[in-house]
Amino acid sequence: MFRDDHESLLTRLCDTSTRVVYFPVRHHSPMCAAMVSRLIGDMRPAAVLIEGPSDFNPYLDELRLNHDLPIAIYSYFGDEAGRRSGAYYPFCDYSPEWQALQAARAAGAPVRFIDLPWVSTAHLESAVQRYADAELRRGRYVELLCERFGVESFDDLWDTMVESEPILTVSEFLRRVHSFCTNVRLWEDSTPLSDLRREDFMADEVRRALDEFDGRILIVTGGFHSSALVSLLDDGQRLQEPAGLTDPLAEAPSESAPAGIAIVDRGITLTPYTYARLDSLTGYNAGMPNPGFYDHVWQSHLRGEPLQHQPLLAELANSLRKRKQVVSTADLIAVEASACTLAALRGRSHVWRRDLVDAVTSALIKDELEFGCESPFLEAVHGVLRGTRRGKLAEGTRQPPLVADILNQLARAGLDPQNTRTDLELNLLDPADLAKSRLLHRVKVLEIAGFTLTGGTDFFSRRELVRLWEKWQVQSRYDFDATCVEASRYGATLAEAAAARLLELARLQQHEAKLAAELLVAAVRADVHELSDELLTQLEVLIRNAASFLDVSGALGHLLYLYCHDEAFGTTHSSRIGGIALEAFYRAVWLLESLGQTADEVSLLAALRVLLETFERGEALLGLNRVEFLAVLQRVQQDQGKQPAVRGAVAGMLWTLGECSSETILEQMLAFSDPTNLGDFLNGLFALAREVVQRNPDLVQAIDQLLLEFATADFQVALPSLRLAFTSFTPREKHYMLQTLFDSLGLQTLKPLEALAVDTLTAASALAFEERLFEAAQRYGLE
């Protein structure tokens, strides 16, 4: 665009005497909030059109209720492909959109939200925080200005140009912000399709408002969109639209989801929000950082006082002392002096956010900060600048059906989410407790705040199945209401929502059979049977195509539990689960024979235990082929390309199944008598034949003899893997094995062992040093 055209565009944007006035904002900017309030008061527009979800317009009166901010409009939808998505439009006291709502109400001006509903652009973009700054942050123009102003980031650039200015008139503000935002837009190579679509929609909404209202209209949108709206409304074309090129929207699908996929559910409501959530946003969702600081700026503005940083500094001192960080009066004086000096050097009449952060960094942090490591001092300052405000919806606010269903079901179960804390212990064989467990698991699947599974039977590792129980902690959480509202994108009832969430997770999991089986266990625990069928079908496909022995055996372990042990949840001897377990077993056996080297011996031995347990429990129940299974094990055991731990484990499997004699095991162990291999072989053997090993004195004596023959250096080489191998046994079992050895050697009864005064590695090092000392003494003829 030529310079004259550029100036003409800026003149039109900054003209407040025309029928349509454009007010540019950066979302959550106190300066923008103050200026829009002043402009509405001076202008008294016939209507105020605000960038916000137009599908919330029927519910605008809900924003007049006595909410504690921050809150957010939450828009959500689900499509027939199972995708669920939600987006937020947050409001703080100092959000310009919120202040425009309040000022318009005070001026008696009607208000409309004019942005395209989230459901219509969700498939085109990833940002779910709709009042973000992605458009303004990108581009070479921002980089050049940062270099020119000598600042590090867009946030510092904005503060320098706009927020930290003590006195700005509305006209100065409009000129400065419109100029900046227009240049950001003009320097872009292209504009995202979602922005073009939204701007077309907003222009249409403005045209409708011009037909509906007499008098002047104020348009409050992100500054990035203002110049585009002027071009669309005044010139009838898009900004920077090259002549003769195809309209980028002409070929774009107009549905609210990808072509051919229909929306099956949608809704829009209010939800509580927090400053912590605002401050944690990054990437496409990033907005103004440190909301606590800008809230302090806003409160100073409301009181008509100059900004004072001393309250923030006092809060920082208290925060550091609570964190047990030593901070003296001299340190605080140094921070104060540094902050004031930095502010003066940067041409500010008062200390700003960046000045405080840099002052703390220079005055309190004495050591170099490593990349990726945060300083407790910086954590404290950012904690203070973040703020702690948490929103709360006013009584009587409309809520999605799911919220009422969750509250009703919790009440019927005698569970009050508003209690300070309740600890529940549930017996899963008791029908009433089982019903509570299923309810809590549904709530857990939806990640509703305040419900934590803290103990009980681990149905994933299944280390202890003697007692089927669970322990839950139910406690009041400030974000309980928000998480209930936000889970509404999954459905109107708790059962429907839990099923939809698990289905979403299942569709995201298209590669690992083990994770799909874990989802099946979660679905069973939450009593979501309609989903279980779909998961079983998916699991069948994943198992057939799996190339990982560990993955298939992990899935097999979960299937075996559900088929053989699931007394509580009712899947025992399910023909469908049994059929898939059978397929998983044979797939795992096939993959075992082609197994290569793996460093994860712990997972590998656990997988082989699952295979052995499946055969022991399922030989009769599932009709497993014993001859075929044993043939594979024998081939694997004889395969010299397999690692020692695998060959030891398979030998242990054959021994446990009675298909291998103790003499054969001794022969195989001698083949691995090298110090680098012995411990690995025994690790596998002990892991899979733990009971048999303890009852065999010949094996224990043979291991003792091998170790006695090792030279000191060889013993030290073998020691780490030997220690790992013997971790398969409890201290009592190891004591029993040693007693067995003493008995076989005709030695006296073993007394209870006294604990070493040092750890075993230190003792081994001392023995090795002693051995070297004796060797040296003998070599030099010393006694």
Poorest-confidence range of 48-57, 93-102, 461-470, 687-696?
461-470
Name which residue leads in pLDDT, 524 or 420. Answer: 524
Q: Is the pLDDT of residue 280 over 90?
A: no
Query: CA–CA separation, 110 vs 49, rounded Å?
Result: 9
Among 219, 370, 380, 173, which Cα is nearest to 292's? 380
231: which DSSP letter?
Answer: I
Give the relative orientation of helices 529-545 and 549-564 as an angle to the nearest 10 degrees.
150
Q: Is the pLDDT of residue 743 over 50?
A: yes
Torsion of CA 244, 248, 254, 260, to 10 degrees: 110
Contacts of 220 (CB under 8 A, 6+ apart): 23, 25, 36, 48, 49, 50, 51, 96, 97, 100
pLDDT at 138: 72
Among 317, 315, 450, which Cα is nearest to 387's? 315
Q: Report the 10 Å Cβ neighbour count for 137.
A: 18
Query: CA–CA separation, 393 vs 448, rounded Å?
Result: 17
pLDDT at 252: 45
Residue pair 90/172 in contact (Cβ under 8 Å)? The answer is no
Query: CA–CA separation, 216 vs 227, rounded Å?
Result: 18
Condensed to tens digits (0 to 9), the pLDDT of residues 228-278 reads 999 999 877 776 644 443 444 444 444 444 555 677 788 999 999 999 888
Condensed to tens digits (0 to 9), the pLDDT of residues 416-458 reads 887 778 888 998 888 899 999 999 999 999 999 989 998 887 7
126: which DSSP letter?
Answer: -
Q: Is the pLDDT of residue 20 over 90?
A: yes
Residue pair 74/87 in contact (Cβ under 8 Å)? The answer is yes
Alpha helix (H) ranges present in 139-222? 140-149, 154-158, 170-186, 193-212
Q: Report the 10 Å Cβ neighbour count for 49.
A: 30
Tokens representing residue 573 in the block: 């001897």
Tokens representing residue 131 in the block: 């009042």
Name which residue leads in pLDDT, 362 or 607. Answer: 607
Contacts of 518 (CB under 8 A, 6+ apart): 460, 558
Tokens representing residue 261 in the block: 């996929």
Among 446, 445, 447, 467, which Cα is nearest to 456's? 467
Query: CA–CA separation, 337 vs 754, rounded Å?
Result: 63
Residue pair 554/517 in contact (Cβ under 8 Å)? The answer is yes
Torsion of CA 43, 45, 50, 55, to 10 degrees: 170
> What's the one-letter identity of residue 705?
Q
Poorest-confidence range of 117-121, 452-456, 466-470, 486-490?
466-470
Asked if the bond preceding 272 is cis, omega within 30° of 0, the reply is: no
Query: CA–CA separation, 563 vs 55, rounded Å?
Result: 49
Best-predicted range by mean pLDDT among 391-400, 464-473, 670-679?
Answer: 391-400
Contacts of 128 (CB under 8 A, 6+ apart): 85, 86, 87, 88, 285
Can you tell me whether residue 193 is helix, strand or coil? helix
Residue pair 485/403 in contact (Cβ under 8 Å)? The answer is yes
Q: What is the mean pLDDT of residues 674-695?
A: 87
> What's the one-letter identity of residue 484?
C
Q: How many CA atoms are closer than 13 Å to the CA of 162, on its beta-carbon side?
A: 30
Condensed to tens digits (0 to 9), the pLDDT of residues 85-100 reads 889 999 999 999 999 9
Among 192, 185, 262, 197, which Cα is nearest to 13's? 185
Q: Report phi then psi at 20, rounded to 5.
A: -110, 120
Condensed to tens digits (0 to 9), the pLDDT of residues 147-180 reads 999 988 899 999 999 998 878 899 999 999 999 9
Q: Report phi then psi at 339, rounded to 5.
A: -65, -45
Q: How far apart are the first and last CA of the chain?
A: 99
Is residue 613 exposed (0-12), middle (13-18) or buried (19+ Cβ within 10 Å)? middle
